[in-house]
Amino acid sequence: MSSHTVPEWLTADLFVSVLEKNVEGFAKIIKFSAETPFAAGENFLSVLWAIEIEVAINDGSTKVVKYMLKVPPTSQQAMQVINMLNMFDREKIIYYELFPAFDEMYRKAGKTTRIAPKSFTLDKDLGFEVVLMEDVRSEGFKNMNRLVGLDMEHTKCALEKLAQFHAASATYIAEKGSLPQIFMEPILKEGILQAFVKAQEPQEKLLLECLPLYKAEHLKEKMRSYQPKYVHEMVKAEKRNLEDFNVLSHGDCWLNNIMFQHDEKGKVLNTLLVDFQAGRITSPAMDLTYFLIGSTCIENKIKYFDYYVQYYHQHLFENLKILSYPKKLPTLRDVHIWMYDFSFMAYTSILKSLPVFLLDPSATADINIDNMMGEKSDGGAMQNAMYTGKSYCQHMEQILPWMANRGYFG
C-alpha cells in the first residue's frame, strides 16, 4: 500500500452534496476515512484516494458508502505530462458527458450497458481537477495480476467491453459528426512531441543494448533503422479523416485499467474499464494493439493474437448493428489492415509500456514516474530493471521475432 498523508482539503464535508443527491434518506455523516490503496508501480499519473463514509439514514439505520477520488499527482514530471495532454479535462468529459450519452444510445436500442464505474460531481472548486467515481471494489471488482497477464477468459471479456465502448463512440461520431473538440485535436503537438522524443532516446538505446538478453541481436540493425520511422508513423496517425472508421480511444487500455467481477467459482461476471485520461479520435487499432501486446499472458500473447483480433471484430460488429451504426460496417479484413497501419503501437508497447507493466516491485527501489523517465538518482536502476527483468525478457523473446516476421520494422 502506498503511503500519502491525507491533505487538509480532503474532508467529509467535501462529499455532503454527493451524498444528499445519491443516498436516499441521507441525514448526516457519522464516520469518514481516506487512504491510498495502490502500491508503487501500479499508478503513475494520478493519486487515487479510497473514500469510505458511514452515513446515518433518516429511518435510524446506517449505511457505508465507498468512492474512489482521483486527484493530480505530486510529481512535477507527472504533472507536466498531465497538463500537456489535458488529461483530467479529457477524463471528466468522458465520464460526465460521453458515458451518459453512450448509455442512452444503448438504452434506446434495448440494451443495458455498464462500460465504466458511475461518476459523481463535487460542488466545491478545489483549484484543481478531480474525478469522483464509485469504488466498484465494494462489488467485488478487482484488477488481475499485471505480472502474470490475462488468460483467455479475461482477455475475451476485456475485448467484449472494449468493443462495446468503441461501437458506442463510433456511432456517436457518425451521428454527430465529431466528438467534443479536445478529442478532435492531435494529441502529439509540437512541444509534447519534442518531450516524447527526448524521453525515449535513452530507452531506445537501452532496448538495443539488451537485445542479446532477448535472443534477438540479429534484429539490431532492422530496429535501429526503424526508430526514426516510428516517430513519423505516430505523427501521421494523428491526422484522422472523418470518413474513416473512427472511435474514441481509451488511450491506456491495459489490465490495470480493467476491472473484473467474478462468481464464487472464479468465472467472470462483469467487466469495467477505468482511467480515460488519454482518449482521442483515432482508429480502434490503437487500443487493440496496445492491449493485446501489453496485457495478455505470455502463453497466449502471440499464439492467439489473430484469434483475439477476430473475437474483437465479432463483438464490435454486433454492437454496431445493435446501435444501428449509419455507415458501412467494418469487416474483419478492415480491422487487420488497421492493425498493420497502426503497427507502431506494438513498438510503443515494447518500448514504453511493457517494461513498466512487467516490472516486479521488488526489483528496484523507489518506483515512480521520475525514475521511470530517468529524472532522479535511481532512474538508471529502475530503467535497467525495466528492460532486463526476467519476465520482460521472456515476452520479448516471443514478441520481437513475431513483429519482424509481420513486417512491423519495415
The C-alpha cell 519495415 sits at 410
Any domain includes 157? yes
Residue 53 is assigned to a structural domain of this protein = no
- Collapse the DSSP code of 131 into the 3-class scheme (helix H, G, I; strand E, B; otherwise coil) and give the result: strand
Give the predicted TM-score (pTM) of the model: 0.93
Phi, psi of 397 (to 5 degrees): -60, -30
Tell me which residue range forms the domain holding 145.
140-406
Q: Can you give the pLDDT of all 410 residues of the chain as single tens digits? A: 445 789 999 999 999 999 999 999 999 999 999 999 876 545 567 889 999 999 999 999 999 999 999 998 877 777 777 777 789 999 999 999 999 999 999 999 999 999 999 999 999 999 989 999 999 999 999 999 999 999 999 999 999 999 999 999 999 999 999 999 999 998 887 667 777 788 788 899 999 999 999 999 999 999 999 998 998 899 889 888 889 999 999 999 999 999 999 999 999 999 999 999 999 999 999 999 999 999 999 999 999 999 999 999 999 999 999 999 999 999 999 999 999 999 999 999 999 999 999 998 887 666 665 555 555 555 578 888 999 999 999 999 999 999 999 999 98
What are the DSSP E strand ranges found in 58-112?
62-71
Assigned domain for 21 exists: no
Q: Which residue type, as a one-letter code, is found at position 37?
A: P
Helix, strand counts (H, E) of the chain: 16, 9
Dihedral angle, C-alpha 360, 365, 369, 370, nearest 10 °: -150
Residue at 61 is within a domain: no
Number of domains within the chain? 1
CB 146, CB 360: distance < 8 Å: no
Does residue 228 lie in a domain region? yes
Cell of 81: 505530462
- Could you tell me the CA-to-CA distances from 218 to 355, 389, 407 in Å, in that order? 21, 21, 15
Establish if 266 belongs to a structural domain. Answer: yes
289 Ramachandran zone, left/alpha/beta (phi>0; psi -120 to 50): alpha
CATH of the domain at 146: 3.90.1200
Q: Is position 335 within any domain?
A: yes
**Separation in Å, CA 181 to CA 90, 143, 274, 279:** 10, 32, 22, 12
- The reply to whether 272 falls in a domain is yes
